[in-house]
Structure 1
């Protein structure tokens, strides 16, 4: 694998610490930008994917590393990134999300005031769901950096965080304390927060993410990445029941009035048309043979309780949000030379194709178990590249930045990475997180 030489950045040598790193979305983005990274990941299978991809990894619990081995992290790390698990923060349900937010705000205030870690940890045990504590980890890492003798008590220069839109309120709380209060050592940041649609950066799916970009005071005010592609307008796709059932065993699909590429907002806005599933999958690349077009995809998301009306999109639209259910999406193809809406079920998306819909490079070496979940949980690398570029002051990546097939690590490289990440070249050790 070769990395693109880095451009001039606001940092001389950016180096990313990726918390909750997953199978490598943000690290792949950094690799394409020529920015090195170290990822911390709890899940064994995601680590196997990372080793196979050649990504520097610690198979560890983020909280445990902060408590027990922070001083062993490379002192030259100057960018903190990640997306902590958000299940307990969801605003769905009977106010549990809002209750969690209020508690998190209390702990944020205590952390910024310099409360001892031991007391914070003891009180966090009283939370109804221990995962709520994980949303505090990026802030706790930022504070720990200023207390680290190995780093010379030097704070991180840049912080980049992303999660589902429901987490925006938490990022805004982060922003308030980072700008107005500062870390316990007095370090303050300039911060920008927003909710962004990934398709406006060329990712071939509709997916919204809440993001935070912070720069240490003196490094300039950050901005959200500028869009390179147009927003997908769902209302521009008029669905009507065609009444054409393939057979009694197949669902009814719907005729589509498909606007020509280029239709939409404005012709002279300087933005490219959003990237469709066909744009991403139709042509052969690497070991991907190319997918026959046209095709239709029925997602696994319900629609008014009628399984026949689950969201259907054509190859000329972006995918719906890619989740761990991507392997359940049903793909339909035309039958022979008949009207293209007379269809039969075709092959479902391979993991390679699912990854490409997330903007992973072709031939990314998905490994271990629950691969669909790994794909769905990942940061879309092209989106991550735009976030890192904006945070570091680098030029925006080109739409084809991640189209080149990924070259997996050799067995020797994997063994070396696993020795560093797990403790031995071919297995986990006692220092690795337990599956439970």
Structure 2
């Protein structure tokens, strides 16, 4: 696989453990930066994509690995990263996690006080949605590292976490205990927390994420957030300057209207920042084997905020970034201008196109079932590369690197990866987690 040459970082040999690794967003970012990684992923379908992509993987439950097989993890791992499942915290979810945030903060206090894992697990079982407790796993891994004989009780040097914006308050609590209280062994970190917009890092999609970057005290300077490379997309400003296209009916005229002038840069915007990347920018040119390019102009209608009423569905043009890519990306309807004043529903986004809107390489080998859900759950690799670079003190990554061809793993390599990840070269074994 193509990678940029490795640069000197605050660590001599970074090695990432990616919790809740999904189909490989952070791992792809690491590989583009020349950084090895090991991902732990519960979902079988996402693991199939990871094996096809040639990514080192454990098909396992993150909590079970911590409890039962932590000592089997490579001791040279020095970067802990991950994006715990967000369904219970997401605005689109039922909100059980938001309601339980204060309770989870209490569990953090118990962990830092050294309360036993067994007692913590017993209390966590009282939560209405067990997934809510998974946001504690990165902290529990950080503590476990200091208790691991296989690691020589050595703490992780760097921690990088991302989640939906509703979890910012929890990351702030993480920051407080990592900086002020320290892990039970006394290890402390310098930490930054904020909510960042992915389109300001070149991702052709509006997606806000709460991020935490922690660097162990004494390891270089305190970390900083990645500097934005692109301007933020402002929906109200766009609609004001373009006559409310996003709310207009899908007609031939709305397709022509996308040729309206671009919004001018506001005086407060940094002139060095590039324009945000549009769907048209991301999908127009043929790249790799599978993507032949998508002809502009086109409109995309999502079902966000529609309550089932088509007239309320959000519409964006090819000159705007995509709305947040979720597991519903396969439902987005694309309208094209076919000439002679004909507007017609065109082909919906392929999984490779959906992945490109997440900044995955064009030929990324999406595999298994529920591919749209895999795409939607993933960390945008370009955004992940910016986070890892900032955490490790590396230069900002080049967006072009994400569009380079991705060579899928050969059958022999897939079998080897699956033997390591599942226990057998041709399928799952009893050690693999079972769907519920």
In structure 1, the residue matched to 2:424 is: 424
Cα deviation 1:24-53 (Å, max 9, x = unaligned): 000000000001000000000000000000
1:37-116 maps to which residues of 2 (within 5 A)? 37-90=37-90, 96-116=96-116
Superposed displacement of residue 348, structure 1: 0.5
Superposed displacement of residue 86, structure 1: 2.5
1:236-247 maps to which residues of 2 (within 5 A)? 236-237=238-239, 238-239=243-244, 245=251
Distance 2:383 2:150 in 1: 32
Q: In structure 2, which of residues 318, 321, 326 is the aligned counterpart of residue 323 of structure 1?
A: 326
In structure 2, the residue matched to 1:234 is: 235
In structure 1, the residue matched to 2:282 is: 280
Taking structure 2 as the reference length, the TM-score comes to 0.94
In structure 2, the residue matched to 1:222 is: 223
Unaligned runs of 5+ in 1: 247-251
Q: Is the 1:17–1:37 Cα contact (8 Å) retained in structure 2?
A: yes
Cα deviation 1:86-121 (Å, max 9, x = unaligned): 323347899844541111111100100111111111
1:271 has 2:273 as partner: yes
Flag the 1:216–1:23 CA change in 2: closer, same or farther, 3 A.
same
Cα deviation 1:65-106 (Å, max 9, x = unaligned): 000000000000000000111323347899844541111111
Distance 1:196 1:418 in 2: 35
Distance 1:326 1:244 in 2: 19
In structure 2, the residue matched to 1:363 is: 363
Distance 1:256 1:344 in 2: 16
1:326-365 maps to which residues of 2 (within 5 A)? 326-338=329-341, 342-365=342-365
Q: Is the 1:239–1:256 Cα contact (8 Å) retained in structure 2?
A: no
Q: How many residue pairs align between the two structures?
A: 428
Distance 2:174 2:317 in 1: 40
Distance 1:54 1:103 in 2: 39
Distance 2:293 2:113 in 1: 56
In structure 2, the residue matched to 1:374 is: 374
Taking structure 1 as the reference length, the TM-score comes to 0.94
Flag the 1:304–1:254 CA change in 2: closer, same or farther, 3 A.
farther
Distance 1:93 1:83 in 2: 16
Flag the 1:28–1:98 CA change in 2: closer, same or farther, 3 A.
closer
Unaligned runs of 5+ in 2: none
Distance 2:136 2:23 in 1: 22
Distance 1:425 1:122 in 2: 36
List structure 1 segments (4+ residues) > 3 angstroms apart after TM superposition: 89-99, 240-246, 252-262, 302-306
In structure 2, the residue matched to 1:314 is: 317
Flag the 1:362–1:125 CA change in 2: closer, same or farther, 3 A.
same
1:130 has 2:130 as partner: yes
SS at match of 2:368: coil
